[in-house]
Amino acid sequence: MAYPTETFYGLGVHALNEEAVKKIYAIKKRDFYQPLLILIPHRGVLPLYVRDVPKGALMLIERFWPGPLTLIFFASSHLPSMLLGEADKIAIRVSSHPIAQALTEWLNAPITSTSANISGAQSPCTAEEVSSQLENKIDLLLDGGRTQGEKPSTIIDVTVSPPRLIRDGAIPFAANNKDEIVWKIIK
């Protein structure tokens, strides 16, 4: 299925279903070595999917979840290996978009959240853009209107100390004093 998030439209399946995850890679024409991020319904389920939640991660979660902040953790052993990078890490976010949030809550399970496009193509901001790229390759398209679409989620790896910014995105850490303070504390 394709669904709106607070940044772009995402392509999602039940993240614990390996066959469904394989379909995401096929639809996107994405290499298997490129990991997928997952959305979870709320921070309370985070320990089910990660080995450890470092203090710096807790501070970021408190400040920016739900929202466009993706954190990279060491993955728990029951996640499908094709979701993970080579270092057994998983990228996780709690979405603030009401449709994405409702999907994870309804399933009470993680869903994949990769942009709903062919790898390397423009990330879609509307259901029409998703449809034009993915044609009849998906089973369901939830039209939630235009997404913000300016920047993707910010990605921070919290498995290293200090945490490392992987991708600058919708949460600019130098945007205001509060954000700068949070960023300096975890460094």
Q: What is the pLDDT of residues 87-132, one digit of tens each?
A: 899 999 999 999 999 999 999 999 999 999 999 999 999 999 999 9
Q: How many CB atoms lie within 10 A of CB 87?
A: 11
The per-residue pLDDT for 184 is: 54
Query: What average pLDDT is seen over the chain?
Result: 91
Average pLDDT on 149-163 reads 93
Quote the tokens at residue 155: 């990605």
Bridge partners, residue 165, by sequence: 156
Question: Domain locations in the chain?
Answer: 2-186
Which CATH superfamily includes the segment(s) 2-186?
DHBP synthase (3.90.870.10)
Q: What is the pLDDT of residue 175?
A: 45
User: Rounded distance, CA 127 to CA 47, Å?
Assistant: 33
